[in-house]
Amino acid sequence: MALRAPARDESGASAVELVMYMPLLMITILFAVQFCLIYLGGQVASGAAREASRVARVTGDSGAASARAFNTINNIGEGVLDRPNVRVQVGAEQARVTVSGEASQILPFLPIPRVTETVEGPIERFVPDGGAP
């Protein structure tokens, strides 16, 4: 008759595995959320730049375009895009708007992510029918 080795007691193994893997899982989740906040900040900057560019191209007024960009940021990006900076350049032929700011940060050990979006387009002009452009 062969003697059997006593079965090992595996109680508590799940708790040890949880302690080992949980920090890795939490860091992965936090990185994913941080990436989403950076993406969302970029989308807010892009939307504000598009709105300001539209105003600048139609009116030619850089002040109104800048106000429109800040209004858009406050309406859709409050808490998402911090310390926004809007730069509007209206020339004879083109209007260019650059919106930048800092995306929200939840991971303190990473540098503060900065997002920048630029939109440029031609100044709109009325051309009567039959007239030369």
**Residue 30 domain-assigned (yes or no):** yes
**Residue 6 domain-assigned (yes or no):** no
Cβ partners under 8 Å of residue 104, min gap 6: 37, 41, 79, 80, 82
Q: Residue 42: which domain range?
A: 23-122
**Residue 22, both tokens:** 């949980």
**Residue 105, both tokens:** 């940060």
**Residue 44 domain-assigned (yes or no):** yes
Dist. CA 7–CA 3, nearest whole Å: 12
Tens-of-pLDDT digits for all 133 residues of the chain?
666 766 676 666 788 888 888 999 999 999 999 999 999 999 999 999 999 999 999 988 899 999 999 999 999 877 888 899 999 999 889 999 999 999 988 878 888 789 999 999 998 887 788 755 5
**Residue 5 domain-assigned (yes or no):** no
pTM reported for the whole predicted model: 0.77
| Count of structural domains within the chain | 1
